[in-house]
Structure 1
Amino acid sequence: MNTRPQDDGVPPVANPIVEADVESDVETDVDVDVDAEGDEPDDERPVAPANPDGFRLDGEPPRVMRLSRKALAILGLLASVGIGGSLIYALQPKNHAPAENLYDTNSRNRADSVNGAPANYGDVPKLGPALPGDLGGPIVAAQQRGQNVPIPPIGTAPAAGQPDPRIAATEQARERAAQERDSARTSRLFLAGETGTTDNRSATAVGPAPSASLPGADPAQPSAPTATSSRRAFLGQRGNRSTESPERIMRLASPYVVQAGSVIPAALITGIRSDLPGQITAQVTQNVYDSPSGRILLIPQGSRLIGEYDSDVAAGQNRVLLAWDRLILPGGQSILLDRLPGADAAGMAGLEDQTNYHWGNMLKAALISTLLGAGTELISNGDSDLIRALRFGTQDTISQTGRQVVQRQLNVPPTLTVRPGFSLRIIVTRDLVLEPVPAGGMR
């Protein structure tokens, strides 16, 4: 019981609300104790609310669906049986009926010589006694006409005045052996090509003829040269026996000369593409002075060069061959250059910039050939004889067409391209006699 002290001697007054709370707490404790001891009846216990769903904060949890183990076992057993049966059926050998031959091999055409020949050895005609070589034909013809012609014996002695054939054959063999020995003694082992002399050619001409017993022997066709024979020919070449050169020093034709071995730097004005032949022009990029002193300007910067390039490109080639025909100076004067060769900045012949080997077209041709060949191979067992015959007939033609397409692309040479402005050099191979350029730059 809560009280609050009062001033002026007034006694404290009790708080009715606080006292009611204390009494209710005491009654609750007493009820709990009584229930614990079991003295009070159960009807006096507090009753829980009838519907607790109104006091729940979360919703109903989802229900989980579970598969039956028996159903899974049955499905697995059925799948195993199906897979096993499929494998057994697929691995069983198939008893196909023998394919019908579309071509009749018994009706082959035979040559007339085979048809007219005897069928067995019993039908071979019997040969009579041997006849002399020169008289055999007339004797047989006379016997066929019914005349009785006596056959002279073979191996009789020759008539008087005629040489014995055995002795003649022996003499010919002896002469042939002597000729072979002479040819072997006079021939040169390391002689080949065009470096031989007249004596060597005559010795080769007198040499022994090829044996007729060797198949393929052709005296008109010489044997193909090999690497070893070419090296031997190089070592066997005769050097110049003269110790003094017949040439003499030539005087300078003019002090205004650009001698052989000089280099003229230039750059392309027009591009190069090796698909077709054509003309090219270039411009001199540096002044060129005379060769004797190197002080006199002969070819000023800006001079034009006229030439052409070689469009005949072989497989694997990546450089374009150039030749220069004319030099035009700024004043309008010009000089022929007699096909001076062009080189790159390093002095190597030709120019190399871009190369197109046409790999894309080659792959397309190979793909087309593969598709054509694969289409003829797709023959099923259910096709009729007519369809098979048509496919077999067109197979070779289509395959040959595919090979020709690929071969045509293989024969296409690479395309060489040199862009304008490419740096190059002109190699002077003959002396160029020019005129000096005046100080103003015009002649």
Structure 2
Amino acid sequence: MSAAAHPREREIAADLRLRAARPPVARLSRKVLLVGTATACVAIAGAVAYAMAARPGAASRPELYAVGGPPPERLAALPADYAAAPKLGPPLPGDLGKPILAAGAPAPTMGAAPSASPEQQRLVQEGEAARTSRLFANEAELRADPSPSNVGGEPVVGQGARAVLDGPVDRRTVSPDRLSAPASPYLLQAGSVIPAALVSGIRSDLPGQVLGQVTQDVFDSVTGRFLLIPQGSKLIGLYDSQIANGQRRVLLAWTRLILPNGKSLVLEKLPAGDAAGYAGLEDQVDRHWGALFGAATLSTILGVGAELGAGYRDSAILRALRLGTSDTFNQVGQQAVGRALSIPPTLTIRPGMPVRVLVAKDLVLEPYSG
């Protein structure tokens, strides 16, 4: 009963199936593939053997040049080997070998010449002296009088290191300098630091002066007992407004020191640094990205606006006008972007920024008395 119902169920399931029967897979015969591959290999091997085999019945090709004849006269006149080659003298510098050789050769002896005037004799002597003069200076003279190769030009990379290596050797083993006594007991020696703070701010768009104020008392460098610069002294300096692209620090130099009692001292542009000792000051940097993006957007809008009115059915006059307008807008956009790129960054140093005066020379002062 169950065996008879099993085929019946299969038929019912086949009738109720929603999907179509899968197509049978077509397979290639392995024997056919092997036979085809072997036949192709045999054919290739036979073609290679046939191409590489010599052909005895083929006629010899004519030579492109004459062989077996006598050598040319120029070739026959050359020496048979290097042993018979003539010995050459020492090499002469550059392309002036012949003039140097001619200058070093002795003058041929001439017969008795008729008497000449003193002027002619002077001209002959000058010509002989010019002819027998040396054309090149020796190496010792060149080293004794070196001349720079790029006077007024840009420095060559590695030129400084090369000059150090090629320079004269200092054979002194003892320094000629001796210790010197302090110029005054009230001395602020080089290497000292004067702490201060900015009173006025700095903006690098325009050059100007800057005002600072000493924030701590400064004593002498020898004993440390004499008060030389009291707290509250004023500092006057200058800053550099020539800012290059990528620069983040402002160069600052101090020119004058004014004490609270009215006395002052010229500082001769002593350098300024930050609290960590780095040269210059760094605070806020404005790269003018807004102006650059605005110029780029303007250039894009002008270029797109010139192309929007283009049509395939325009006349020659309209196309010429459109092309001229497009080129003009393109140039205007490029000029706007170029001006935005040429704007240097604006560096701003806010008031109150800590600053240090780096003493580069000994300062002779006096004890402060208010």
Question: TM-score per shorter chain, which class?
Answer: 0.5 to 0.7
Counterpart residue number, 1:342:
272
| 1:362 to 1:293, Cα distance in 2 relative to 1, 3 A | same
Q: Quick one: distance in 2 between partners of 1:322 and 1:224? A: 26
Q: Are 2:237 and 2:252, in contact at CA under 8 Å, matched by a contact in 1?
A: yes
1:316 paired to 2:246: yes
Counterpart residue number, 2:303:
373
Counterpart residue number, 2:314:
383
Task: State the secondary structure of the residue aligned to 2:298.
Answer: helix
Matched ranges for 1:83-122 at <5 A: none
Amino acid at match of 1:288: V
The percent of aligned pairs where both chains have the same amino acid is: 53
RMSD: 3.2
Give the superposition deviation at 1:393: 2.0
Q: Are 2:256 and 2:266, in contact at CA under 8 Å, matched by a contact in 1?
A: yes
| 1:330-364 deviation per Cα after TM superposition (whole angstroms, max 9, x unaligned) | 11111111111110001111000000000011000
1:305 paired to 2:229: no
Counterpart residue number, 2:175:
245
| 1:151-174 deviation per Cα after TM superposition (whole angstroms, max 9, x unaligned) | xxxxxxxxxxxxxxxxxxxx9762
Q: Quick one: distance in 1 between partners of 2:351 and 2:153? A: 49
Matched ranges for 1:116-195 at <5 A: 174-175=98-99, 186=138
Q: Quick one: distance in 1 between partners of 2:170 and 2:341? A: 47
Counterpart residue number, 1:355:
285
Counterpart residue number, 1:267:
197
- Paired residues in the alignment total 244
Unaligned 5+ runs, structure 2? 1-94, 104-133
Q: Quick one: distance in 2 between partners of 1:228 and 1:184? A: 27
Task: Give TM-score scaled by structure 2 length.
Answer: 0.59
Q: Quick one: distance in 1 between partners of 2:227 and 2:332? A: 64
| 1:381-430 deviation per Cα after TM superposition (whole angstroms, max 9, x unaligned) | 02222111111223322212211111111110000001110001000111
1:426 paired to 2:357: yes
Q: Quick one: distance in 1 between partners of 2:351 and 2:243? A: 20
1:436 paired to 2:367: yes
| 1:277 to 1:200, Cα distance in 2 relative to 1, 3 A | closer
Q: Are 1:355 and 1:414, in contact at CA under 8 Å, matched by a contact in 2?
A: yes
Q: Quick one: distance in 2 between partners of 1:305 and 1:397? A: 54
Amino acid at match of 1:373: G
Matched ranges for 1:11-90 at <5 A: none
Q: Are 1:316 and 1:414, in contact at CA under 8 Å, matched by a contact in 2?
A: yes
Greater relative contact order (Cα < 8 A, sep 6+): 2
| 1:221-265 deviation per Cα after TM superposition (whole angstroms, max 9, x unaligned) | 999976466544443233333334343332211101111110000
Task: State the secondary structure of the residue aligned to 1:339.
Answer: strand
| 1:177 to 1:303, Cα distance in 2 relative to 1, 3 A | farther
| 1:375 to 1:422, Cα distance in 2 relative to 1, 3 A | same
Q: Quick one: distance in 1 between partners of 2:213 and 2:155? A: 47
Q: Quick one: distance in 1 between partners of 2:158 and 2:261? A: 58
Unaligned 5+ runs, structure 1? 1-170, 189-195, 205-219
Q: Quick one: distance in 1 between partners of 2:155 and 2:212? A: 44
Counterpart residue number, 1:285:
215
Task: State the secondary structure of the residue aligned to 1:307.
Answer: strand
Amino acid at match of 1:432: L
Q: Quick one: distance in 1 between partners of 2:243 and 2:163? A: 32
| 1:292 to 1:396, Cα distance in 2 relative to 1, 3 A | same
Amino acid at match of 1:328: I
Task: State the secondary structure of the residue aligned to 2:269.
Answer: strand
Task: State the secondary structure of the residue aligned to 2:333.
Answer: helix
Amino acid at match of 2:281: L
Amino acid at match of 2:354: S
Q: Quick one: distance in 2 between partners of 1:342 and 1:222? A: 30
Q: Quick one: distance in 1 between partners of 2:155 and 2:100? A: 28
Q: Quick one: distance in 2 between partners of 1:293 and 1:246? A: 28
Give the superposition deviation at 1:376: 2.8
Q: Quick one: distance in 1 between partners of 2:274 and 2:151? A: 43
Give the superposition deviation at 1:288: 0.3
Q: Quick one: distance in 2 between partners of 1:198 and 1:232? A: 16
Q: Are 1:259 and 1:430, in contact at CA under 8 Å, matched by a contact in 2?
A: yes
Q: Quick one: distance in 2 between partners of 1:232 and 1:293? A: 45
Amino acid at match of 2:286: N
Q: Quick one: distance in 2 between partners of 1:223 and 1:272? A: 33
Q: Quick one: distance in 2 between partners of 1:346 and 1:178? A: 70
Amino acid at match of 1:240: D
Task: State the secondary structure of the residue aligned to 1:313.
Answer: coil
Give the superposition deviation at 1:197: 4.1
Task: Give TM-score scaled by structure 1 length.
Answer: 0.50
Amino acid at match of 1:290: D
Q: Are 2:100 and 2:135, in contact at CA under 8 Å, matched by a contact in 1?
A: no
1:405 paired to 2:303: no
Q: Are 1:187 and 1:200, in contact at CA under 8 Å, matched by a contact in 2?
A: no
Amino acid at match of 1:281: L
